Amino acid sequence: MISKGYIYHFIWVKDSNSETPTLESVLVVNEFLEVFPGDLPGVPLEREIDFGIDLLPDTQPISIPSFRMAPAELKEWKEQLKDLLDKGFIRPNISPWGALVLFVKKNDVSLIMYNDYRQLNKVTINNKYLIPRFDDLFDQLQGASCFYKRDIRSDYHQLKVRDSDILKTSFRTRYGHYEFVVMFSGLTNAHATFIDLMNMEFKQYLDLFVIVFIDYILIYSRSEEEHVTYLRVVLQTLKDRQLFSNFSKCEFWLQSIAFLCHVVSIEGIRVDSQKIEAVQHWPRPTSPTDIKIFWGLAGYYRIFIEGFSSIASPLTKLTQKKYKFQWSDECEKNFS
């Protein structure tokens, strides 16, 4: 029985002893080398969807002064600006808007330029998009034995910013004032907009052999022969629409996948045992909020726990205002 634990995003585990495949060595994928360039070729096509930044009424332009930077950061700043300019992703501008630019260390070695759009995001109207029901997704995967997974989080630069909103992406640097003409990952609605694009491009294949969910595109097949066909269809769609993938963010010809805290394979769907430990070592709740967080996470596994609602009942009562928060022996028993 599961007592405690959760993971709220997709996890996949790769055998560290296995040889890293090359682009040319992967079946079917090697027919579509242009879909996996080493770097994006430049400004994306005009698409049916572009990225907009709709603001709350009466919003005034926001400009944040930059921090002082170390010599190493200034050097990196200049190099990354040149790279973005050469690709056509940014351009010089004059604007009353201006986001703060920061640097984040990656692997304790490289510096990644990060535009801090938090103030802009606070005044941006959030788009809503429907997240598929988890049980519906699991129903689709029943009987599947071959999988492909693509991480789309690095793909945002493949959408243009709506012309009227480009100036809102402005950021100030020591070397000039610039704006993005392509979508940037730090902006509110960037993720939702890209999901909309993926759903549009793969609409005719959704619920048949394609799932678009959160940060991933998933192809699932019931045989290797079927998988060849489906993989070729998806890659041809990407090629035709000039949508590119990062090869290092893709996993091909998987026989099982970790998906929404579960492991899916031809044998069925089971709880991911590696994730249960997190729940088993979850600290005892000390407030109604703690309980709500815990049930929101542990609820992933309710379908595997007989009488889940009854087990949860003593703790759930403590989240109601009419009950005083008092941890009882029954709470301790059911929690552990």
Percentage of residues of the chain with pLDDT beyond 70: 88
DSSP 51: B
Whether 270 shows a pLDDT value over 80: the answer reads: no
Beta-carbon contacts of 18 under 8 Å, excluding residues fewer than 6 positions away, are none
Written as six digits, the tokens of 198 are 């993926």
pLDDT of amino acid 308: 76
Q: Hey, what are 244's tokens?
A: 């590119």
pLDDT band at 4 (very low <50, low <70, confident <90, very high): very low
Q: What average pLDDT does range 244-272 have in this prediction? A: 83
Q: What's the mean per-residue pLDDT of the chain?
A: 84
Most confident of 164-178, 273-287, 295-309: 164-178
Better pLDDT: 335 or 29: 29
- 146 vs 270: which has the higher pLDDT: 146
Q: What's the mean pLDDT in 328-334?
A: 84
More confident: 289 or 55: 55
C-alpha 173/C-alpha 77 separation (Å) is: 8
pLDDT-derived band at 123, boundaries 50, 70, 90: very high
The Cα–Cα gap between 9 and 213 comes to 10
| The predicted structure's pLDDT at residue 29 | 93
Q: At what angle do helices 308-317 and 288-298 cross, to 10 degrees?
A: 160
Please check whether residue 77 is in contact with residue 171, taking contact to mean a CB–CB distance below 8 angstroms: no
Task: Decide which of 336 and 256 is more confident.
Answer: 256
pLDDT of residue 24 exceeding 50: yes
**C-alpha span between 134 and 145 (Å, rounded):** 19
What pLDDT is attached to residue 5?
A: 30
State the pLDDT at residue 6. 26
pLDDT of amino acid 187: 92
In total, the chain counts a number of residues equal to 336
Please compute the mean of the pLDDT values over residues 110-114 and round it to a whole number.
Answer: 81
Q: Helix-strand-coil percent breakdown of the chain, rounded to 5? A: 40, 20, 40
Residue 35 has pLDDT above 90, yes or no: yes
Q: Count of CB atoms within 10 A of residue 210's CB? A: 23
The beta-carbon contacts of 288-296 under 8 Å, at least 24 apart in sequence, are: 288/318, 288/319, 288/320, 288/325, 291/315, 291/316, 291/318, 291/319, 292/319, 294/4
Q: pLDDT, tens digit, for every residue of 166-209?
A: 999 999 998 999 999 999 888 999 988 998 999 999 999 999 99
What would the pLDDT profile of 143-165 be if each residue is shown by its tens digit? 888 898 887 766 789 999 999 99
In this prediction, residue 9 carries a pLDDT of: 27
CB atoms near residue 245 (< 10 Å): 22
pLDDT score recorded for residue 316: 83
At 292 the pLDDT is 81
Residue 17 confidence (pLDDT): 44
Q: Name the more confident of 163 and 132.
A: 163
For 142-181, b where at least 16 C-beta lie within 10 A, e where not — what string? eebbbbbbbbbeebbbbbbbeeebbbbbbbbbeeeebbbb
Share of the chain above pLDDT 90, in %: 41
Delimit the domains of the chain by residue range.
283-335
pLDDT value at residue 142: 85
Mean pLDDT of the 107-123 span: 85
Mean pLDDT is highest, among 7-21, 233-247, 268-282, for 233-247
User: Of 281, 278, 287, 283, nearest to 327 (Cα)?
Assistant: 287
Q: Is 196 helix (H, G, I), strand (E, B) or coil?
A: helix
Contacts of residue 128, Cβ cutoff 8 Å, sequence gap at least 6: 192
pLDDT digits (tens, 9 = 90+) for 61-73: 999 988 888 888 8
pLDDT of residue 18: 53
